Amino acid sequence: MVQNTTAVANQVMWNRLISVVEEQAQALIRTAFSPSVREAGDLSAGIYDTQGQMLAQAVTGTPGHVNAMADAVAHFIRRIGVENIFEGDVYITNDPWEGTGHLHDITVVTPAFHRSKHVGFLGCTAHIVDIGGRGFGADANSIYEEGLYIPIMKLADKGQVDKTLINLVRANVREPDQAIGDFFALTSCNEIGQRRLVDMMTEFGLTHLDDIASFILDNSHRATLECIAALPLAKAKGEMRIDGYSHPVDLKVSLEFQKDRILCDFEGTSGLDKKGINVPLVYTKAYACFALKCAIAPDIPNNAASLAPFKITAPVDSIVNAVHPAPVALRHVIGHMIPDAVYDALDKILPNTVPAEGAGTLCNFQLSLRPRTDLSTPIKGVRSEVLTFNSGGSGARPGADGLNATAFPSGVMTMPVEATEHTGPVIIWRKELRPDSGGAGRHRGGLGQYMEVGASEGYEFDFSAMFDRVDHPARGRQGGDNGAAMTISRSDGTPMKGKGKQFVPAGDRVMLAMPGGAGYGDVADRDPTLVKKDLVRGYISAAVAKQDYGMSEAEVKDTMLAIKAE
């Protein structure tokens, strides 16, 4: 009975820790200055034991941040030194290899104290709009061009903020108030977590987290191993070709299921790119682990122990294991494709488990807006940096259609038009679902979006494109059709590249058609009722209903008449 009572109490405390980190994340969303955090949820929060092992993560956040942060706190402990950790300290970095993969992610770690005793750490990460350098984009040739590098250091020492660091950051970024505001939002996020952690420890009479940490980690590890042990001992290979920057990139994966682990190796993957689409191994691990965990152990909470049985390796100087000083600003463009490559192999071992390929990469872009420079008399105005997050369609699933305009695997939310236009002199002229973009199949792929983007009168801008699936659309699975490819051009008809900074003159607009997810299963097996629903909703056109799904002319006509009658 005592053991059962203790187990129940530990489970309650485990749930409380998850609620603590979720409140951390929500505090960050409410206080963040960057719209990428406030509107899109591009963040993470977690709680760690004194050894730097992640005990709980917030539900809100991205796998790239959360799973990368699982490794980050140990780097902070090593760099700061146990003997230099004091109450009131706050630590910070944007090191791509010891943080979450690129300079635009600021990671803040705060040691937690209870009754003057060090009991653990609170950590959080957020993407900020600007960190200097060339700006957020793929055009740099090394990490030195990509922005200001902040090594692991103290942002606050025993409660005293390092004003020299603050001044250095302000002097090197285009949006200083926004950047420093986010620094303090991250700090406040951890402070909220600290308060709630102390409340919990006081309520349960805890003086340390060692026992609850052991309970969490032991049970998570055991449960994950049980899931793995139920799988067949098997090997499989997967591969996927994507656009890259100036030439295609090949992702190659070898999976091996063993009794107590899953090995995932990226041998054979393309080498480093000259431009900033390379991926540090920490980010590759984050998304490879996420893909495997979603398919194999989705119900086990994410922490250091549940991630441990997934062993991810990649050759040094491959595009998925870039080392310093490789440019890595757009590591997400390749990193978000990793789950689809892993699933190409996994589908051969566990059929009817994983979805078809989707858009993968977030359809992000950043505008650097300024008063037009082609006039003899310059107009008055301010320069602005506007970053907006958008999504193509996700791939169809073994038992359901793909999700429209939904980011998988990142989970980052699409930003509202109003929020985007509020941040600078930008106008979103069009934003709507893209009919016929989801691949046909027994289950249809999710739809992409149309967007039409321009600047307010009197402004020109540089458009930093961060897209993929232009030349290599999402591939169907188990007989499903491919999704639609990404297209991008100016409104005057000038073609644009899928990646890189490109000038757009005053009065012109950027026309985007974001990629659709691929279909799953043979299209002949699709329920005719679902085809009619898609036609009624405008997800497919009459032409596609007839050509891809085999609807007769009479059925299409009757359906269209019913729509008009309503």
* Region at 147 (left for phi over 0; alpha for psi -120 to 50; beta for the rest): left
Average pLDDT, the chain: 94
CB 290 within 8 A of CB 360: no
Integer angstrom CA distances of residue 447 from 97, 156, 404, 473, 520 = 35, 46, 4, 13, 14
Residues with Cβ within 8 Å of 78's Cβ and at least 6 positions away in sequence, in order, are none
Place of tokens 């600290």: 194
CA 331 – CA 320 distance, rounded (Å): 9
CA 202 – CA 196 distance, rounded (Å): 10
Residue 148 clears pLDDT 80, i.e. is over it:
yes
Q: Which pLDDT belongs to residue 566?
A: 62
Q: Which pLDDT belongs to residue 565?
A: 66
Q: Are strands 426-433 and 449-455 parallel, antiparallel or unpaired?
A: antiparallel
Residue 362 clears pLDDT 50, i.e. is over it:
yes
CA 440 – CA 525 distance, rounded (Å): 11
**Inter-helix orientation angle 338-349/281-296, to 10°:** 40
Nearest to 508 by CA among 405, 374, 377: 374
Place of tokens 């230099």: 84
Cβ density class 191-205: b for 16+ within 10 Å, e for less: bbbbebbbebbeeee
How far out from the chain centre does Cα 256 lie? 26
Residue 563 clears pLDDT 80, i.e. is over it:
no
CA 449 – CA 468 distance, rounded (Å): 14
Nearest to 381 by CA among 338, 420, 413, 424: 424
pLDDT tens readout for residues 310-361: 999 999 999 999 999 999 999 999 999 999 999 999 999 999 999 999 999 9
Instruction: Please say whether the dihedral angle defined by the alpha carbons of residues 532, 533, 535 and 540, taken in this order, is positive or negative.
Output: negative
Average pLDDT of the residues in 59-73: 89
How far out from the chain centre does Cα 119 lie? 30
Q: What are phi and psi of 530, to 5 degrees?
A: -70, -35
Average pLDDT of the residues in 29-57: 92
Q: What are phi and psi of 502, to 5 degrees?
A: -140, 140
Q: Are strands 153-157 and 235-242 parallel, antiparallel or unpaired?
A: unpaired
The domains of the chain are located at 2-220, 355-526, 527-566
CA 126 – CA 85 distance, rounded (Å): 23
pTM, whole model, 2 decimals? 0.95
Q: Which pLDDT belongs to residue 1?
A: 42
Q: Which pLDDT belongs to residue 4?
A: 56
Nearest to 209 by CA among 45, 71, 51: 51
Average pLDDT of the residues in 363-385: 87
- Cis check: omega of the bond before 398, within 30 degrees of 0: no
Average pLDDT of the residues in 139-158: 97
Would you state the structure tokens that stand for residue 48, as one six-digit string? 């760690």
pLDDT tens readout for residues 69-100: 889 999 999 999 999 999 999 999 999 999 99
Q: Which pLDDT belongs to residue 560?
A: 80
Percent of the chain topping pLDDT 70: 98
Within 10 A of 423 (CB to CB), how many other CB atoms are there? 22
Specify the 3-state DSSP secondary structure of 551: coil
Residue 371, beta-bridge partner list = 459
Q: Which pLDDT belongs to residue 414?
A: 86
Specify the 3-state DSSP secondary structure of 155: strand
CB 446 within 8 A of CB 358: yes
